[in-house]
Amino acid sequence: LFSAVEMAPRDPILGLNEAFNADTRANKVNLGVGVYYNEQGRIPLLRAVAEAEKARIEAHAPRGYLPIEGIAAYDQAVQKLLFGADSELLAQGRVVTTQAVGGTGALKTGADFLKRLLPNAVVAISDPSWENHRALFESAGFPVQNYRYYDAATNGVNRAGLLEDLKALPARSIVVLHACCHNPTGVDLELDDWKAVLEVLREREHVPFLDIAYQGFGSGIDDDAFAVRLFAQSGLQFFVSSSFSKSFSLYGERVGALSVVTSSKEEAGRVLSQVKRVIRTNYSNPPTHGATVVASVLNSPELRAMWEAELGEMRTRIHSMRLAMVEQLAAQGAKRDFSFVARQRGMFSYSGLTAEQVDRLKNEFGIYAVSTGRICVAALNNSNLESVTRAITQVL
Ligand code: PMP
């Protein structure tokens, strides 16, 4: 049965983690991960989460199955976070939200549902994109293409290329867009870009699939939901995959959601019934713990305020690391202007380092980054910043 099974290629990022763990050098640094570390180099357990967990454990609640679509209080809290508490769409009952197994599970549920609706569609993702986007939509049976996005010459967005490629896609393509804090580049669209993109999507009848995995890591919860809310006002029907892995530091609990914007309450009921079928045949119903915790935090004014403050601390720390990195690189005489790093948003920076330079960082200094030059700024701290910037200066 298995004699002809070929070895699958290693996941580029998880493979990097394995190599990092096996490295015995004391001063090694892992900038390859997509995880927020605090100043002490640890993944934080947020205080708001700890409080909610304590209450949950003390309640000794039974562990029955959840409904297929997950916890209602959770799904509603997600909707308010994404669309705004006073959203008209929500008042009209036009948004279907189901709890998902992380942002990845939300994307896959959405992809499987879309495959039934538009079996011959093309999926378009940004060049570059989160490395799992392509594989995930391909595994749902779609051909996947890139649209131009990052412009290495300006460390910004290739606006003309982006719009041209979206226009050139077959009508009714599925277009995956990073709603904020683009992974891996850290380069986001601006207000006018979003409006221009929206118009092309409307003209070409493309189906937008907004992926928002870092809400609150750019400028704040509401600001980072800008694209979702702009699309909500457009009258278009679209998909949103969201994740609390980063914003609640609940990576392993797999807490995400899929939201589908429909054109009426009646349509929403039919769509929900079909999304539930996709879930039922994949994993039946979602896990309890993470979503219970998130729902109690979001639905308690005190815990919510605590969480927002903690999220703000994470965002501010990352930004201060960006500024410090730019400063140190300049102070150490790096032969390149890195000021763009301070303008990038979210956890990542496309540093412009080549695969060869990334290799040297690993071999000579024990500093691990993704071969594309993506580094996780959220893994920098005041203890490793100097050695990292010194090493970068040397490999340039
Ligand atoms: N989308 C993007 C853009 C991401 O960066 C990530 C996480 N790295 C995900 C989706 C998946 O999130 P989760 O870990 O919650 O599955």
Ranges of beta strands (E only) in 232-323 are 238-243, 255-261
| pLDDT score at 177 | 98
Q: What is the mean pLDDT of the chain?
A: 96
Residue 129 three-state SS: coil
Pocket of ligand 1 (CB under 6 A): 34, 102-104, 130, 178, 183, 211, 213, 243, 245, 256
Share above pLDDT 90 across residues of the chain, in percent, rounded to a whole number: 95
At which residue do the structure tokens 């970068």 appear? 392
Residue with CA at minimum distance from ligand 1 atom 6: 213
Confidence (pLDDT) at 14:
80
Q: What share of the chain is helix, strand, coil (3-state, %, to 5)?
A: 50, 15, 35
**Domain boundaries, given as residue ranges, for the chain:** 12-45+305-395, 66-299
Domains 12-45+305-395 and 66-299 equal at CATH topology level = no
Fold of domain 66-299 = Aspartate Aminotransferase; domain 2 (3.40.640)
pLDDT grade for 154, boundaries at 50, 70 and 90? very high
d(CA 214, CA 183): 9
129-150 pLDDT, tens digit each? 999 999 999 999 999 999 999 9
Q: What's the gap in Å between 256 CA and the centre of ligand 1?
A: 9
d(CA 95, CA 89): 7
Fold of 12-45+305-395: Aspartate Aminotransferase, domain 1 (3.90.1150)
Contact 325, 165 (CB under 8 A): no
**Catalytic positions:** 130, 211, 246
Confidence of residue 160 (pLDDT cuts 50, 70, 90): very high
Global ipTM: 0.99
- Residue 13: what pLDDT? 82
The two most distant CA atoms of the chain are separated, in Å, by 63
For residues 194 and 163, the answer to whether their CB atoms sit within 8 Å is no
- 95-101 and 255-261: which strand pairing? antiparallel
Tens of pLDDT, residues 366-375: 999 999 999 9
Judged against a pLDDT cut of 90, whether residue 33 lies above it is answered with no
pLDDT at 12 over 90: no
How many residues make up the chain in this entry? Answer: 396
The yes-or-no verdict on residue 315 having pLDDT over 90 is: yes
- 194 near 226, Cβ under 8 Å? yes
User: 3-state DSSP call for residue 375?
Assistant: strand
